[in-house]
């Protein structure tokens, strides 16, 4: 048989160029790679219009050819969108800069029937992942009617980059070409619709109009809607500043940033340093940048040195001459006090000089102490700008224009004191007074003393519980929207009627699972716990050893890889626990029902089972998927009572006692190995009825022996899992590490302990630190040791999840636990990292294959970066919730005493005696001293407060003492206090006059 010859016409240079996409990509290690991708043009790319006759069902089916994805369905209305500015029904085609800078406008429900081009989507993804995710969310929302058109794949809209054309110019031309194709396509379908290009690029709009296309700016386009005034407030300040600054010259306030090439050259030469900018919470004119070079961070002092950096930005810094190096300031400086006369409408030169003098005076104070490297910001590598919860600063308002309908420029004061005031322009200023609002930063010009932004939305009345709680979630970027239909669609169709089926070895549920339903298993958790992740059992073995089992909810059975539920859980990262609510990582049905190891019901579990000697030495360990039936759900207190009751000898009680005996030995061994017993301020807030959700009291959490029992076996399960998954997947295992803190982190605490208490703190190793912390004891004050441990905890670095292929083997260790290898396996209901560990462990024991994504180091790295961020923010949100409710409880306590909580610091001793009542008082410890204030810690409420004085006092930075004259304190005599001294404070709530924000305030009473 003659061979079959396939002849293929060689492509011309033009055809080859048209099928290739070429770009450069920078790797994590800084290498620049040239990427070349070949694409193929086609005709069957659907337009997304429900009225289009040319794009029938076959076109939508052809689009999904070669994929497992379902065919897309058209979403653009046949009637289009109406807008009086354009005059005719149309679809909107957005430019890249609209997606990058006007996302708040796009997210307004007014905007529907929007075409998002592939060119725009790709560019947004490369420029800003958060904005890309917001744009994708709009596309996935069926009510918003956003359609992705793959213009780079359609032969009628694809463009090839010309030889002398920049990538940006090519993209602009691609957007205009796609708009032209859309208009022609709609006309060919005999539809009374057209495509309108909306762009804030003046040149692009001009070129589009020259081509005969309908095009306009966002500002022009929103004029055609009835709610134009509302939309106008959402416009980015980039747009408004470009309009207002035409023909206007402003004086230079800050130095311009260096060019990127100059910055990178400086980094390579070692003259420019790069790192995260951390603003000082006590002094708005000071910040620091920790870099890879040098033990201590580089100090930044003054507005000029910080040069428009905002907390969390990645900045470029150069050092000042050594003669200008200074020490950290020793004063508390509140921006509301210093900047209260600033005008939001303009930058007045005289005022600038006045503020600069004030700044200079503060900088010079205490500058001779603890000299360190000092520098200034010369560039920004990456902005950390986000949406901020804020209030309108009433003092910045033009009172004469309150009743007018025109826009006003005012200051929005963020709740986060590290963030500078933001200039916004709004027509709704009078309506937004005394409201919590959401604002965002758009730009910070070198000619403006303050960043410029825009109003996003109102959250509710300031100090209302609903507004405060939502603002807390927004401030810490907690995803709290209800789960989408696609996520809920991943749940078992039986809903809460789902049960473990009867035993059947062939059943998918029972496959390779061990039946542990007859074991004496119980759970031990805090009061009110509904998402029960873990349960335990122990029993004697015939050979004299003990079998111990830790059983963890098998969440990975329900949350399958590459599903929308899995993607949502990965994006949320963790469950967030607030005082009055819980923001779940997983839908309620799973978290509190089907996955929760509730008593008296059968549940799927992932079990770690050890054989241990009576001395708590591990003989062997095995992991297995299982089915369990918990016999009891205890609180820590109930389990403690059960263990201590000598009259009880039932199997569950015996199991708890066995576990406790082993846990005591495990902990002792851990401590001997150098584990740290650190502390953090923890309180329990007692709530009123579920209807009112009001706090009625607050107290310190009580710890029981059973707390330690559970902790030890969770640690054992986590480290056993870590070893197993690292053996199986040495380059992509999901582990958790805690790096040793830099030596200089403890310098101040060591100096304070030595000078104030004559105590030594050895930080040469975790074991040495643990031993020296045990010696920091005051026989007359048992709380002192807890306070030292709290301060030592603040000197530590944060633990983090990591991919084993991205970190050197000698950096795997967990400093605080004194463990060589560690992970999180025991809380998959509330932590996504645990789900990943479950999948790796299941594959390691041969239960099921490892998902393809978990072979990718890049995927694991990216996922864990998100999880680390979510975990950190969840902790901050939880603490902020506690602080808010502690403030409410303090207000309630003062009300019970017949006192106004806002009168703190305004009454003297004779007033109290005359009225026969006093504000709430408590013992406190001084934890920091300044020239004009001191920070105190009240252990009873787990609360730290700042007490400031209107005048400077006599301050001795060498001994960490401040002497407060009676004329300043109002006390009967002068008072000298230093760090670790006890004092008595009255506690109330302060209402900020400008923001109406309530916060706990303290005042010295002795």
Contacts 24+ apart (CB under 8 A), 127-131: 127/96, 127/100, 128/100, 130/386, 131/99, 131/100, 131/103
DSSP states of 516-544: ETTS--EEEE-TT--S--EEEEEEE-TTS
Output phi, psi for 566, to 5 deg.
-65, -40
Q: How far apart are CA 471 and CA 870, in angstroms?
A: 17
pLDDT at 349: 43
Give every CB contact of residue 42 below 8 A, 6+ residues apart in sequence. 153, 154, 155
Q: Which of 716, 530, 516 is nearest to 628 (CA)?
A: 516
Contact 450, 427 (CB under 8 A): no
Size of the chain in residues: 1006
* Cα-Cα-Cα-Cα dihedral sign, residues 813, 819, 825, 826: negative
Indicate the pairing of strand 194-198 with strand 214-216. Answer: parallel
In the prediction, which pLDDT does 395 show? 78
Q: Give the residue ranges of the chain where pLDDT is below 70.
A: 1-40, 63-69, 239-250, 336-369, 398-406, 679-700, 907-917, 991-998
pTM for this structure? 0.82
Angle between helices 636-644 and 651-672 (to 10 degrees): 110
Using the 8-state DSSP alphabet, how is residue 822 labeled? Answer: -
Query: Residue 941's pLDDT is what?
Result: 82
Is 132 in contact with 184 (CB distance < 8 Å)? no
What is the pLDDT at residue 332? 79
Structure confidence at residue 683 (pLDDT): 62
Determine the pLDDT at residue 546: 96
**CB neighbours (10 Å) of residue 511?**
12
Closest alpha carbon to 716 in 628, 810, 799, 608: 608
Contact (Cβ atoms closer than 8 angstroms) between residue 609 and residue 547: yes
pLDDT, tens digit (0-9, with 9 covering 90-100), for 296-331: 899 999 889 999 999 999 999 999 999 888 888 877
The beta strand positions in 394-532, using DSSP E, are: 408-414, 422-426, 435-443, 452-461, 513-516, 522-525
Query: Dihedrals φ, ψ of 491, to 5°?
Result: -75, 155
What integer pLDDT is reported at residue 26 of this predicted model?
56
Calpha distance 639→654 (Å, rounded): 11
Show contacts of 408-412: CB within 8 Å, 24+ apart: 409/344, 409/345, 410/344, 411/342, 411/344, 411/450, 412/388, 412/437, 412/439, 412/453, 412/455
Which candidate, 601, 619, 600, 599, places its Cα nearest to that of 611? 619
Asked if 941 contacts 683 with a C-beta cutoff of 8 angstroms, the reply is yes
Calculate ∠ Cα 473-474-477, nearest 5°.
85
């Amino acid at each position: 048989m003659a061979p079959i010859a396939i002849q293929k016409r060689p492509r011309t240079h033009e055809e080859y160029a048209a099928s290739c996409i070429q770009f450069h990509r920078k790797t994590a290690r800084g290498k620049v790679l040239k990427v070349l991708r070949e694409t193929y043009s086609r005709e069957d790319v659907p337009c997304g219009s429900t009225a289009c006759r040319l794009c029938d069902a076959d076109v939508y089916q052809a689009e999904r050819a070669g994929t497992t994805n379902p065919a897309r369905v058209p979403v653009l209305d046949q009637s289009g969108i109406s807008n009086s500015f354009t005059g005719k029904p149309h679809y909107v085609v957005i430019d890249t800069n609209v997606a990058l800078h006007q996302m708040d406008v796009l997210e307004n429900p007014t905007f529907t029937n929007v075409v998002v081009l592939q060119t725009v989507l790709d560019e947004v993804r490369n420029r800003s992942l958060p904005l890309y995710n917001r744009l994708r969310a709009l596309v996935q929302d069926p009510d918003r009617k956003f359609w992705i058109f793959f213009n780079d794949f359609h032969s009628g809209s694809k463009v090839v980059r010309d030889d002398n054309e920049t990538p940006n110019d090519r993209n602009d031309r691609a957007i205009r070409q796609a708009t032209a194709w859309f208009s022609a396509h709609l006309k060919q379908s005999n539809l009374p619709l057209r495509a309108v290009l909306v762009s804030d690029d003046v040149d692009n709009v001009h070129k589009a109009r020259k081509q005969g296309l309908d095009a306009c700016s966002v500002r022009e386009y929103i004029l055609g809607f009835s709610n134009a005034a509302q939309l106008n407030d959402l416009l980015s300040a980039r747009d408004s500043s470009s309009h207002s600054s035409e023909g206007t010259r402003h004086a230079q306030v800050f130095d311009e940033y260096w060019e990127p090439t100059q910055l990178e050259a400086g980094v390579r030469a070692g003259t420019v340093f790069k790192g995260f900018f951390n603003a000082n919470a006590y002094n708005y004119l000071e910040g620091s940048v920790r870099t890879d070079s040098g033990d201590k961070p580089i100090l930044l002092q003054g507005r000029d040195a910080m040069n428009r950096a905002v907390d969390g930005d990645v900045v470029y810094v150069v050092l000042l001459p050594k003669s200008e190096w200074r020490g950290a300031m020793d004063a508390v400086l509140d921006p509301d006090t210093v900047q209260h006369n600033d005008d939001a409408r303009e930058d007045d030169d005289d005022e600038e000089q006045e503020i600069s003098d004030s700044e200079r005076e503060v900088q010079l104070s205490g500058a001779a102490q603890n000299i360190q490297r000092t520098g200034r910001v010369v560039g920004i590598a990456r902005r950390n700008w986000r949406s901020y919860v804020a209030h309108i600063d009433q003092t910045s308002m033009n009172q004469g224009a309150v009743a007018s309908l025109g826009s006003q420029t005012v200051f929005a004061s963020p709740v986060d004191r590290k963030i500078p005031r933001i200039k916004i322009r709004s027509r709704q200023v009078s309506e937004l007074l005394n409201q919590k609002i959401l604002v965002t930063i758009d730009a910070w010009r070198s000619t403006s003393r303050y960043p410029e932004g825009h109003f996003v939305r109102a959250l509710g009345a300031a100090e209302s519980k609903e507004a405060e709680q939502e603002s807390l979630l927004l401030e810490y970027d907690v995803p709290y929207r209800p789960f989408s239909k696609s996520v809920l669609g991943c749940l078992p169709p039986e809903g809460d009627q789902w049960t473990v089926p009867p035993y059947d070895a062939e059943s998918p549920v029972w496959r390779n699972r061990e039946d542990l339903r007859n074991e004496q298993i119980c759970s031990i958790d805090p009061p009110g716990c509904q998402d029960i992740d873990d349960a335990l059992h122990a029993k004697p073995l015939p050979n004299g050893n003990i079998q111990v089992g830790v059983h963890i909810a098998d969440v990975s059975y329900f949350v399958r890889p590459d599903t929308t539920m899995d993607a949502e859980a990965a994006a949320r990262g963790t469950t967030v626990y607030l005082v009055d609510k819980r923001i779940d990582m997983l839908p309620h049905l799973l978290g509190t029902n089907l996955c929760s190891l509730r008593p008296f019901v059968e549940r799927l579990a992932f079990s770690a089972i050890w054989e241990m000697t009576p001395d708590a030495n591990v003989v062997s360990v095995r992991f297995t998927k299982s089915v369990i039936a918990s016999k009891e759900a205890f609180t820590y207190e109930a389990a403690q009572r059960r263990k201590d009751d000598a009259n009880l000898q039932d199997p569950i009680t015996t199991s708890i006692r066995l576990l406790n005996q082993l846990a005591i030995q495990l902990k002792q061994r851990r401590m001997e190995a150098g584990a740290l017993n650190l502390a953090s301020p923890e309180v329990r807030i007692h709530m009123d009825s579920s209807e009112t959700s009001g706090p009625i009291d607050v107290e310190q959490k009580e710890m029981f022996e059973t707390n330690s029992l559970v902790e030890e076996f969770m640690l054992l399960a986590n480290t056993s899992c870590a070893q197993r998954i690292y053996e199986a997947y040495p380059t992509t295992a999901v582990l958790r590490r805690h790096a040793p803190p830099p030596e200089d982190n403890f310098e101040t605490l060591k100096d304070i302990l030595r000078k104030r208490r004559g105590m030594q703190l050895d930080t040469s190793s975790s074991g040495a630190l643990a031993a020296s912390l045990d010696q920091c004891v005051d026989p007359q004050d048992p709380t002192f040791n807890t306070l030292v441990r709290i301060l030592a905890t603040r000197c530590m670095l944060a633990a983090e999840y990591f991919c084993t292929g991205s970190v050197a083997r000698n950096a795997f260790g967990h400093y605080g636990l004194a463990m060589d290898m560690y992970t999180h396996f025991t809380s998959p209901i509330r932590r996504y990292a645990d789900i990943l560990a479950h999948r790796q462990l299941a594959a390691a024991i041969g239960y099921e294959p490892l998902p393809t994504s978990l072979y990718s180091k890049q995927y694991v790295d990216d996922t864990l970066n998100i999880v680390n961020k979510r975990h950190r923010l969840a902790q901050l949100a939880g603490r902020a919730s506690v602080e808010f409710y502690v403030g409410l409880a303090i207000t309630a306590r003062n009300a019970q005493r017949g006192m106004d909580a806002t009168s703190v610091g305004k009454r003297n001793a004779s007033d109290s005696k005359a009225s026969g009542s006093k504000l709430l008082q408590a013992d406190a410890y001084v934890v920091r001293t300044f020239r004009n204030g001191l920070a105190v810690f009240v252990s009873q409420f787990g609360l730290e407060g700042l007490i400031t004085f209107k005048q400077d006092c006599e301050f001795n930075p060498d001994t960490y003492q401040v002497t407060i004259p009676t004329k300043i304190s109002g006390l009967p005599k002068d008072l000298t206090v230093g760090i670790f001294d006890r004092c008595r404070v009255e506690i109330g709530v302060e209402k900020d006059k400008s923001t109406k924000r309530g916060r706990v305030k303290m005042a010295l009473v002795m």
